[in-house]
Each structure stands twice: as C-alpha cells, then as structure tokens.
Structure 1
C-alpha cells in the first residue's frame, strides 16, 4: 500500500515496520524524525504530524505498538462505539493471547484474549472488539455489580445492541464475572427496564414483594407523546424513577407537567430516586402496596426478609376497610 494512503487510513500514525514495508528507507525515516516532521509516540510507532494527538490517533498508536492482530477494547472500544461519553485516561487494547507485548507502554493497558479472532469487529476502524464483546469485557472487569448493570443497560438504551445479541455473545463465553446477574438482567432489559434504577425497582421492589407486574416504558400519545417508567394501568397508578440524567432543568419541568396531567386524568403518580430504591426498596414496596390497594388491587404483598416493613396483616386490615 502507498504510504500516504496508509497514513491517512490510520489517522496520521504509522509503525516503523509499515513505513519500511511501504518503501521508505532507513535514512529517510531517520531524517523525518530528526527534522521534527515525524515524532515518536511509542517504541517503533510514529505520528506524522505536529501538535496534539487526537484520540483516534492515540488509539491507532496503541494498536500498532501492541502489534499484529491487536484491537481497541474495553472502555476505549466503548467510547469509539458511543457506549460512554468519556474514554478515560488509559487506552485499552487487546492482543492475541499467544503473544506478549514487551515492556510498559505509557498510557496504554494491554489485555490478552484467546478468542480475539471471534470477538474482533470485521470492518470498523480503528480495529476494535464487537459491541457485544466490548460490553461483556467491561462486565468481566467491573468491580461492582452496579457498574456491570450500567454497561449492559447503557448499550441497550443507546441502541448499540440488543438483549438478544448480548445473550448470544454471553452464551459463547465459558468464563465471565457476574454471569448469573447478567443473564437475569438481559431478560429484564428485554422486558423494558432501561437503567440500573429501573432494574432495581423491578427486582427488589416489585418482584421481591409480590406486587403486580407493571408495564415498563409505556408510550402514551396525546397532545404530546410521554413515556411512563412503570404503569399499573388497571389501578391508575404510575411510578416514575428519576435518575440524574433527564430529570434536571427542563427535564424536571417536563416531569412536573406530566405528573400534573396524570393527576387531572385520575392517576396517582409515585416518584422515586436512587436513594429510595437502592437504600429502602422495602419502604418503597410498602408505600406502593398501600396505594395500589387503595385503588383496587386485591392481591397480598409479601415480606422479603425478617424485619421487612411490608406487613401482610396491615395490608389485610387495609383491604378489609376499603371494602366496608
């Protein structure tokens, strides 16, 4: 390949081996470096321009330093594919497991994988892992289950992949951290839960306490389309789960408008945030059970553990008083 085309395709970065294979002589390469027209980024890897190194060029430099078959992976691949908005301070690349990159590479973390030929995306540049494998790599390295939840739900919420494709990729992996949780999550996400907060409500509030199953992410069309996080339509009860994104400033004003319209239409709206659902799911369940019962639910909630404030006896007394 012509060296100019090669450099253009690699965001202005080239390896020593590539330059020599393209016909550049040792003397010419030495002159380019000494004159400042090219500069060293890593051992045997050069930027062919001056000024700051754009992120894509940093990625190419890390891949070329890691050598044949290496690809961007983990958070770096996630950023390239729009799964997150911050690439972080380190460029992550994965190399085939049969090779080893010698020496420390500044600003780069090299991972190794036996299945890289299967997880590498066939066409994207810079080379990177497939979206589903990027998500699972990040799940596998997550230090906390909530972090793993965040990667799965972000990938689905940003429409970069689907629960079905993630489940297929997961089935092909023999070992992965948090497997049982992720398998359960993928079923939940397919049912409409789109954030760790919504997943927590589904599992620790609704299911754990035997509450009726709500309709998640329900689209309601009127003068303007609105989305309801959890809708118990039969009982005219709605639950809104407020994460930080989308519920500040203008988003918060829209939430108030939506709640007011719901009240006018005869719906009760319960609104909870992270502090409610993550730290007191039992208290949230007890409150929801009382509101649902007052609006016609005849089921019985259950305590999820000793000391759970969901008291079935109090619930039966409330139900009896409602029907007197």
Structure 2
C-alpha cells in the first residue's frame, strides 16, 4: 500500500490537504479528484476520498484533521466512541491544546481548549480521543445540573469502563472543575456500592441525611436463582428496592414481584421507590423507612434534615412524622 492508502485505511477514508501533498499527490491531481467528484470537501483542507454518507468515525476524523495538530475527540463524542453513551449527539466535540489558535466555528463541530491535552489524550486509540477518565470529568465539568454529572460517573462505572479510584486520581490532577465537592463525595459513594444516581440520592438524602442505619448496598442473594438487593438492612430484615425506568416493565416487573413475594415469605419487609419518590420527597421516604425499621427493632434516633423535614423524633416509643 502507498502512504496515502495507509492513511485512508487508518482514517476511515478521510485525509487532509497537507497529508495528500506529503504523500506525493500533486495539487492538480487533488483538484481533479474533487472536480470529478471522486473526492469531496468535508471541511476546509479536509476531504473524503469516497462517495456516499460519512460514517461517524469518518466525521470524527474530519473534525480532528480540521482542528489540526494535537487535536482529539472529546466530551460526548469521545464518550460515544468508548461506549459510555448510546447517542453521539448532534455535533462533533474536539479539544485542541490551549496554546494553539483554531477557528472556533467549524460546521457541525464544537471546539474546546485544554492546557493538559497532551497528557489527557489517549496515546493510541483511533480516532484520537481523550482518555475515558478525562472524558467523564469533561462531561461532569459541562453538566448543567448535578444529576447529569452523577449520571456520567455512575454510567462509566456501571459499564466497567473505569473505576472510582481511577476517576478520583484523574480528578485530583485537575485544578478547576465544576461540581468538585459533589463529585469527590460521589466517587466515594460509588466505591461503596451505589450504582446509579437514584441509589446515590437514596444514600445521601434519605439514609445519611436522616441518621438511618447504614444499609448494605448491592447485596448478592443466592437461592434457586441469584438476585441483587439494592439496599439491605439485614439486621432488621428490611429491604429497599430502587426502581429506575429501565428493567422494571414487562417481564422485569413480574420478576421484581416474585422477588418481593419470596422476601415476604422469608420474613423480610420490602420497600420499593422510584425517581419521583427519592428525588421528589426524600423526607417522606425516610419517614417510611423509620416506621418500618422501628417496628422491626431499630432503636436509633432519626434526625431532621431541615426545618420542613417530615422526619421527627417525638418520644421513646419512636413515633415519627408531623
């Protein structure tokens, strides 16, 4: 293969003008390829050497080549390439070294600048992209809401693309990042077994905020079939299931019902909550927890999380609520 053929194979059929000329192709030959519509211009100085739609990887290569030396796919684009998300979004995200000037307006491309890009760019992956831990933190940094930041961290750990320890190391190397205190706490929570923003919210806003006993998270239960308990207060035979929208409809709903029924037969109480419960009324959820735990032997003292909290400690018998 010629040098140009190798580049075309590596870069999904996309090449830059500088690469074409360096491979020995003359300017006249390049212009002929474009005029004959064998090749076509994607961005200024960047060409697709084939006809038909551009696959996603070719679009990424075109954006990286247009951005120039040292550029790498980043943010949601890098997340999609590495399997962190299932939707690439409407634009290609590219980061370039902060020391370089790049025209920020490139059709279909959003350009970011970073001082640490030489160390945060993955050394070998193609198309060039940021390392997965840096991609997660980039997305946390631009997240408009803390719940979205939680989603990126938990998705990366749930899909086994990284670990809380690796993310914590990458976070420590960053001088500035949005949502830092929350992210540091969240990484510790994920390491303790919380697997989703819903579970993180339950851990912080229901359990810890109201002084409840510490539950065992993601506990593996074996029997006729293996099952997992989201939060298990084993000493008091109370289980909490936190249901997201995925996996709890159709057959998933009946599977949950059978699991709850088996737990009841075995003497366990099961409390089940969704996003609207935990995010919308954490104090109400905590109050229900206290009632059930009290009835099953918990003698601890719950606490109010604020002036309007529905959890109250009234007497030695442990009645709660307003």
- TM-score if structure 1 supplies the norm length? 0.96
- For residues 166-245 of structure 1, the aligned pairs below 5 Å read 166-245=167-246
Q: Is the 8 A contact 2:237 2:269 kept in 1?
A: yes
Residue 82 (structure 2) pairs with residue 81 (structure 1): yes
Output the CA distance in 1 between the equivalents of 2:187 and 2:304: 26
Q: Which residue of 2 aligns with 1:142?
A: 143
Q: Which residue of 2 aligns with 1:322?
A: none
Output the CA distance in 2 between the equivalents of 1:147 and 1:103: 26
Unmatched tracts of structure 1, length 5 or more: 320-324
Output the CA distance in 2 between the equivalents of 1:83 and 1:126: 16
Residue 311 (structure 2) pairs with residue 290 (structure 1): no
Provide the secondary structure at the position in 2 that maps to 1:27.
helix
Residue 153 (structure 2) pairs with residue 155 (structure 1): no
Q: CA deviation at 1:307?
A: 2.5
Q: CA deviation at 1:225?
A: 0.8
Output the CA distance in 2 between the equivalents of 1:104 and 1:133: 24
Q: Which residue of 1 aligns with 2:66?
A: 65
Structure 1 segments, 4+ long, off by >3 Å, are: none
Q: Is the 8 A contact 2:104 2:110 kept in 1?
A: no
Output the CA distance in 1 between the equivalents of 2:46 and 2:100: 18
Q: CA deviation at 1:103?
A: 5.8
Across the aligned residues of Structure 1 and Structure 2, the Cα RMSD in angstroms comes to: 1.0
Output the CA distance in 1 between the equivalents of 2:262 and 2:39: 63
Q: CA deviation at 1:27?
A: 1.1
Q: Which residue of 1 aligns with 2:93?
A: 92
Q: CA deviation at 1:264?
A: 1.2
State the Cα deviation string for residues 101-140 of structure 1 (Å, max 9, x = none). Answer: 1262111000000000110001111010000000000011
State the Cα deviation string for residues 114-171 of structure 1 (Å, max 9, x = none). Answer: 0001100011110100000000000111111111111111111111000000000000
Q: Which has the higher mean CA deviation after the structures are superposed, 87-96 or 301-310?
A: 301-310
Provide the secondary structure at the position in 1 that maps to 2:162.
coil
State the Cα deviation string for residues 282-301 of structure 1 (Å, max 9, x = none). Answer: 00000001101111111111
Q: CA deviation at 1:255?
A: 1.0
Q: CA deviation at 1:317?
A: 2.7
Provide the secondary structure at the position in 2 that maps to 1:99.
coil
Q: Which has the higher mean CA deviation after the structures are superposed, 21-30 or 68-77?
A: 21-30
Q: CA deviation at 1:227?
A: 0.7
State the Cα deviation string for residues 201-235 of structure 1 (Å, max 9, x = none). Answer: 00000000000000001111111110110001111
State the Cα deviation string for residues 42-85 of structure 1 (Å, max 9, x = none). Answer: 01101111111110000000000000100000000000111100
The number of residues matched between the two structures is: 318
Q: CA deviation at 1:252?
A: 1.5
Output the CA distance in 1 between the equivalents of 2:317 and 2:297: 14
